[in-house]
Each structure stands twice: as structure tokens, then as C-alpha cells.
């Protein structure tokens, strides 16, 4: 076998592995962003744009930081401050903590793209949506496209939609979290108990479909559907046009 043929065969042999492992790159950062290679417990600070992401890598941001990730299939993900995103594959990602914005290319009827957070799975069809996971509470908001939400632990208890007053209380609690965390936890538990009693009956569902303009709050197995809150609208609007 000639040297050229041998070299070509080695390149062709390596291509599938490269195509499988190479996910994208961290295109832009603000503040302190850490990159964890798959299986590594020690992260490296991202100092320059263009850091490559492989399958299984994790991106973590600190307070006041942000990472803009571009994937080879055209999808874009923004990891906001104090957040952790694990890239399990081009079609599967996990929000371990914090807030992550997704700008996913339209795929017609395909529903291969999934985002997980804890026991919750979000099946995505070309869309823009935000996921916030914090202290056992998950929020999902959609401004374009559709997201199908389900839980691996069983049916979700879909309760009555939140009233405007309840949504306002939720926003107030979010604003106070950084200042009076311990007090807020007690208040949140109290408000949650009142809301559960007021909600009365619930509908057990295997999945909840979210369309543009809809949001979902999940705590335990209880789920409330509402309109997209202002913070999600404002955050996703910063992504600009597709």
C-alpha cells in the first residue's frame, strides 16, 4: 500500500470518531467561565473564544458570567451566570443548575433534540426557549416553536394555571432570593402549601405540550402552566434574529 493510500485510509477511519465527538465551540464569554472535559473533575478557565467542545464536556459559569456556545449543526445555547450545562451530544444536553437559553434550528416534524434537568425531559421541535433549574424548582418558557415536557418518575400533576397575583408573588420571591435566602425558603414553602390547597383537584398527565407564549413551573411532581414571564421574554430577545 502506498503512503498516500495509507494516509487516506487513516483519515477516513478517523472521521467518524471526530464527527461523533466534536460538538461545537465556546464562541464568546463574559466573566469567569470554566470548561470541564468529559470525565474530568477539574475545569479550565476559558480565556479565548473558540474553545472546542467534545461529547460529554461541561460548561460552568460563575456569578456575573456568561458563555455563548455554537454547535456544528447551527444550534446556539447561552449559559447564563451561576449555571452548568453538560453537552451529552448534539441532540442531548442537561441543565444541571442555573439558567440556559436555547436557540434551536427548526426541524420540521423531527423531535430528536432533548434537554434534561433532574428527572424532567424536554423534547424540542425547532424553537427558542429558556430553562431555569434552582433548588428543586424548574421553570421552562417558550417564545417560539414547541417543547414537550415529561418526567421519568411518572405522571405530572397538572394543576390550575397560576393567577396574576400568584405569578406576581413568584416574581417577588425570585427578586428576594439573593438577599434573604433562608427567609424566602420558609415563605416559599408556606406559599406553596397555600397554593396546593387552593388548587384543589389536579390532572395526572404523562406530558405537557408548551407552545409559544407558554411557560411551566415544576416542583416535585406538581406542574403549573402560565404565560411566559417577563424575564424569559427579555432574556431570549437578547439572542437577536435567527
At 69-82, the pLDDT tens digits run 999 999 999 999 99
Number of neighbours of residue 183 by Cβ within 10 angstroms: 10
What CATH number does residue 215 fall under?
A: 2.60.120
Cβ atoms of 212 and 143 within 8 Å: the answer is: yes
List all residues 6 or more positions away from 47 whose beta carbon is below 8 Å from its beta carbon: none
pLDDT at 125: 83
Any domain includes 226 = yes
**Closest to 214 measured CA to CA, from 104, 108, 140:** 140
pLDDT at 190: 60
Report pLDDT digits (tens) over 156-199.
Answer: 999 876 565 655 666 666 666 655 665 666 666 666 655 555 55
Any domain includes 135 = yes
Provide the grid cell at 79: 449559559
Any domain includes 198 = yes
Report pLDDT digits (tens) over 10-25.
Answer: 433 343 444 457 899 9
Spatial distance between the Cα atoms of 99 and 106, rounded to a whole number of angstroms: 22
Domain count, the chain: 1
pTM (2 d.p.): 0.77
Any domain includes 141 = yes
Tell me the residue range of the domain where 211 lies.
91-237
Cβ atoms of 140 and 150 within 8 Å: the answer is: no
Any domain includes 29 = no
Any domain includes 101 = yes
Q: Which helix (H) or strand (E) holds 176?
A: helix 164-176
**Closest to 99 measured CA to CA, from 238, 235, 208:** 235
Amino acid at each position: 500500500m502506498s503512503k498516500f493510500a495509507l494516509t487516506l485510509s487513516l483519515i477516513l477511519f478517523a472521521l467518524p470518531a471526530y464527527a461523533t465527538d466534536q460538538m461545537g465551540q465556546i464562541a464568546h464569554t463574559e466573566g469567569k467561565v470554566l470548561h470541564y472535559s468529559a470525565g474530568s473533575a477539574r475545569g479550565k478557565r476559558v480565556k479565548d473564544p473558540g474553545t472546542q467542545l467534545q461529547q460529554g464536556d461541561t460548561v460552568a459559569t460563575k456569578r456575573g458570567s456568561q458563555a455563548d456556545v455554537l454547535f456544528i449543526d447551527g444550534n446556539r445555547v447561552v449559559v447564563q451566570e451561576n449555571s452548568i450545562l453538560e453537552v451529552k451530544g448534539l441532540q442531548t444536553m442537561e441543565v444541571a443548575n442555573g439558567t440556559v437559553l436555547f436557540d434551536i434550528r427548526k426541524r420540521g416534524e423531527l423531535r430528536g433534540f432533548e434537554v434534561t434537568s433532574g428527572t424532567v425531559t424536554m423534547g424540542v421541535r425547532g424553537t427558542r426557549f429558556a430553562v431555569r433549574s434552582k433548588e428543586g424548582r424548574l421553570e421552562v418558557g417558550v417564545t417560539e416553536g414547541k417543547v414537550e415536557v415529561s418526567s421519568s418518575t411518572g405522571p405530572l400533576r397538572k394543576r390550575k394555571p397560576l393567577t396574576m397575583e400568584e405569578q406576581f408573588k413568584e416574581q417577588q420571591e425570585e427578586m428576594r432570593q439573593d438577599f434573604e435566602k433562608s427567609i424566602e425558603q420558609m415563605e416559599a414553602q408556606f406559599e406553596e402549601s397555600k397554593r396546593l390547597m387552593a388548587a384543589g383537584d389536579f390532572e395526572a398527565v404523562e406530558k405537557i405540550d408548551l407552545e409559544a407564549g407558554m411557560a411551566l413551573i415544576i416542583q416535585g411532581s406538581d406542574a403549573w402552566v402560565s404565560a411566559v414571564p417577563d424575564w424569559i421574554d427579555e432574556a431570549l430577545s437578547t439572542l437577536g434574529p435567527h
